[in-house]
Structure 1
Amino acid sequence: MNVKDQYERPIISLRLSLTNRCNLNCLYCHHDGMILTEDEMTSDEIYQILKIAKKIGIQKIRLSGGEPLLRRDIVEIVEKTASLNFKDISITTNGIGLKKYAKPLKDAGLNRLNISFDSLNPNTYEKITSKNLLHEAKEGILQAQKVGLFPVKINMVVMKDINEKEIMDMFEFSKENNLVLQLIELIKSDSCENDDFSIEHHYSLDNLEKDLENMADEVKTRKFMQDRKKFFIDGGEIEIVHPIDNTKFCQNCTRLRLTPEGKIKPCLLKNDNLVDIITPIREEKSEEELENIFLKGIYNRKPYFTD
C-alpha cells in the first residue's frame, strides 16, 4: 500500500520533530514552524504513529528537532523505529551529542545522519549558534564517521558576511573525513520570526554552482529532489540545496511532517492545516480511527507554490 495525496504525490517519507528543545540558538533557525511545548510525545506514542506510517506505505523516517539527541529515550525511539523495517532511518542533529550517542544509535538501527554544522571557525561558530561548542560538535561528527554511520552529511547554511568565505574550508574538512557537504541557501519562511535576517544575509549559490560545475570531475542530478546537483571534486562531494520557494519543490514533495506535540503537519510552510493525532491516541481510539486521522493529514496536503 502506498498512499498518494489529492495531487497524486506519493507519501514516501515522514519527518518527526521529537522535541523543540535545543542546546544551540542559531541565528537562522525558524523552528520548523513548531509551537513551544513541554508536552512531547512518548516513545510508545511515536511507535503507534510509526506503525500507521508503515502500514500506509511510508518508507523513510527522519528524526529531527529542535535537537533530537536531547531526548533521553532517543536510542529507544530509534530501536522501535528500526523494528518496523523502514527502508531508511536518519537523524538530523547538531552533532554535539554524537560523541556519546553515535555508536548506540548505530547499534539501535540508525542508517545515516545529517549534521547541521555551519563553520569550522570558533568565532564564527559562536556567532551563529550563541554557544562555544565547536569542539564538541566536531568531535561528535568524527565519532559518527568512526563508528561507520554512512553517509554522514554536513548541512552548512551559507550566510553573506558570516560564513560564505568558509565554504572551501568546510569542503576540505568534509573530503578529508569522508563526509558529504550540503550547502544550503538561506531561505525565508512564514514561520520565521526574523525575516530581516534572511534578507540581509541571503547569499545566492547560483554563481558558486557554476564554478563547481567547471571544477567537478562528475556531476549528478537528483531528479526526485528538485533537480539538486551533486558535484564530485577530487574525491569529495558537494550538493547544492536551493530555496524551496518554487513550484518544482512542491511538485516533487513526498514528505509529511509530525510536530513534537503530535500534530500532523502536511506542509513545511503552513501552520493552519495541522491535524491532531496525539489526542485520539491518548483517548485510545481504534487503529482504524487513527489511520483515518493520519490519512486526513495526507489529504490536507496542497502545493504551497503553484504556477
Structure 2
Amino acid sequence: MHPLDTLGRPIRDLRISVTDRCNFRCAYCMPKSVFGHDYRFMDRRELLSFEELERVARAFVALGVEKIRLTGGEPLLRKELEGLVARLATIDGLDLTLTTNASLLARKAQALRDAGLDRINVSLDSLDDATFKAMNDVDFPVSRVLEGIDAATAVGLPVKVNAVVKRGVNDAGVVDMARHFRGTGHALRFIEYMDVGTTNGWRLDDVVPAAEIVERIDAVFPLEAVESAYRGEVARRWRYRDGAGEIGVIASVTEPFCGDCTRARISAEGKLYTCLFAIRGTDLRALVRSGATDDELRDEIAGVWTRRADRYSEIRTEGTAELPRIEMSYIGG
C-alpha cells in the first residue's frame, strides 16, 4: 500500500528528529532569547528508542518511503547515534542521510560511514568567521565545520552544504561560498530564510529570493539550469557552465513547491507531522508503546497521510503568520 494524500502526493521522504537538543543557538532556529538556560529539553525516556525508531521507519518504508534523513536539534548529540544508523542501514533500498552542524563530525565521520550512512548534509551559513559566529551565537569557528566536511570526505561520505541566507546578515557572502565549494565535488544549497516556528522574528524583508542568489553567482560564475532529478526534489539546481560543479536554491518562500511535497516528519518524542509548518502532530509513540501491531502502526500512518492537505507555503499570508507552528529545533529542518 502506497497511500496518496488529498492532493495526490505520495509519501517518499521521512525526516526523523532524534533529539531536541542543539549546541548552537542560531537565531533562525533556536535563538538564545527564547531557548535560554531555562528551556526544558526532553528527558531521554520521552525520546523514541533506537528500536522504536527502526520500527517506525520500517512502517514508513512499507508505505513508500525511499529516503530517510536524521535531524535534530543536532543529531550527533544523541549518544551512539551510529547504532541507529546501523539499524536503518539494514532496510533494503533506503537512501539514508543525516543533517548536522558538523561540530562533532570530525570525530564521528568514520563511525557513521562504517554503520552504513550514505550521505551527509552540513549546515554552514557563512565562510566569514565573524558572521558565522554571530549566526550560531556560541562562538563556533568556520574552521571546525570545514574540518568536519574534510573528515566526511576522507571516509567516503558525499557532502551537501546548506546555507540559510538572511538579508543584511550573511547574503554578502553567497558568491564567496560558491567560489569556495566550486570544484570540490560538494553540492552547495542556498535556502531562503523561512518562517518556521514563531520565535525567530521572521520578516519577509529578511528573505533574499532564490532568483537573486542565482543572479549574483551567475554574474561571476556563469550558470545553466539543471532538470529536476525526481518528483518532489526541493532544490532547483544550477550547474557551472565550465563544469566546476553545481549549486541549488530552495525557494520555499518565493517559489513554493508544496504541490510536489512528499515529506513527512517525526519529532524526537514520536509525533508525526505532515508539514514543516504544522500546527499539531499525531502521537505515534503512544501507539508504539501501547502494543500496537505493525499493521496497526502502518494503518495509522496511512490514515494520517491520506487526510493530508498541507500547502502552507502556497497560501502564506499575513493571516497565516499568526498561526502557532512547531519550532524548527523540535521538528528538524
| Length, aligned pairs only | 299
Query: Which runs of at least 4 in structure 1 moved beyond 6 Å after TM superposition?
Result: none
Gapped regions of structure 1 (runs ≥ 5) = none
- Of 59, 62, 72, which aligns to 1:65? 72
1:209 paired to 2:217: no
**Aligned counterparts of 2:162 and 2:234: Cα–Cα separation in 1:** 17
The match for 1:237 is 246
- Does the Cα contact within 8 Å between 1:124 and 1:163 map onto a contact in 2? yes
The match for 2:284 is 277
Aligned pairs for 1:25-104 within 5 A: 25-29=25-29, 37-38=42-43, 39-104=46-111
Query: Counterpart of 2:227 in structure 1: which amino acid?
Result: T
Aligned pairs for 1:83-232 within 5 A: 83-134=90-141, 135-150=143-158, 152-189=159-196, 191-195=197-201, 197-199=202-204, 201-213=206-218, 215-216=221-222, 218-222=224-228, 224=231, 225=233, 228-232=236-240
SS at match of 2:208: coil
The match for 2:266 is 258
**For residues 217 and 268 of structure 1, do their structure 2 counterparts lie closer, same or farther at Cα, with a shift above 3 Å needed?**
closer
The match for 1:288 is 295
1:299 paired to 2:306: yes
Deviation, 1:213, is 4.9
**Aligned counterparts of 1:80 and 1:144: Cα–Cα separation in 2:** 20
- 61-70 or 208-217, which moves further after superposition? 208-217
1:175-224 C-alpha deviation (Å, 9 max, x unpaired): 253211111111223x23133x4445322232332354564354203263
1:5 paired to 2:5: yes
Gapped regions of structure 2 (runs ≥ 5) = 32-39, 316-333
SS at match of 1:106: helix
Percent identity over the alignment is 30
**Aligned counterparts of 2:180 and 2:154: Cα–Cα separation in 1:** 15
**For residues 240 and 283 of structure 1, do their structure 2 counterparts lie closer, same or farther at Cα, with a shift above 3 Å needed?**
same
Query: Counterpart of 1:130 in structure 2: which amino acid?
Result: D
**Aligned counterparts of 1:14 and 1:84: Cα–Cα separation in 2:** 14
- Does the Cα contact within 8 Å between 1:26 and 1:129 map onto a contact in 2? yes
**For residues 187 and 275 of structure 1, do their structure 2 counterparts lie closer, same or farther at Cα, with a shift above 3 Å needed?**
same
Cα root mean square deviation, aligned: 2.2
**Aligned counterparts of 1:291 and 1:238: Cα–Cα separation in 2:** 37
**For residues 139 and 171 of structure 1, do their structure 2 counterparts lie closer, same or farther at Cα, with a shift above 3 Å needed?**
same
TM-score by length of 2: 0.83
- 47-56 or 227-236, which moves further after superposition? 227-236
Deviation, 1:283, is 1.5
SS at match of 1:260: coil
SS at match of 2:287: helix
**Aligned counterparts of 2:212 and 2:128: Cα–Cα separation in 1:** 24
- Does the Cα contact within 8 Å between 2:10 and 2:64 map onto a contact in 1? no
**For residues 207 and 120 of structure 1, do their structure 2 counterparts lie closer, same or farther at Cα, with a shift above 3 Å needed?**
closer
**Aligned counterparts of 1:202 and 1:159: Cα–Cα separation in 2:** 6
Deviation, 1:299, is 2.3
**Aligned counterparts of 1:205 and 1:16: Cα–Cα separation in 2:** 27
Deviation, 1:302, is 0.8
**Aligned counterparts of 2:24 and 2:306: Cα–Cα separation in 1:** 35
Query: Counterpart of 2:262 in structure 1: which amino acid?
Result: T
- Does the Cα contact within 8 Å between 1:275 and 1:293 map onto a contact in 2? no
**Aligned counterparts of 1:277 and 1:271: Cα–Cα separation in 2:** 16
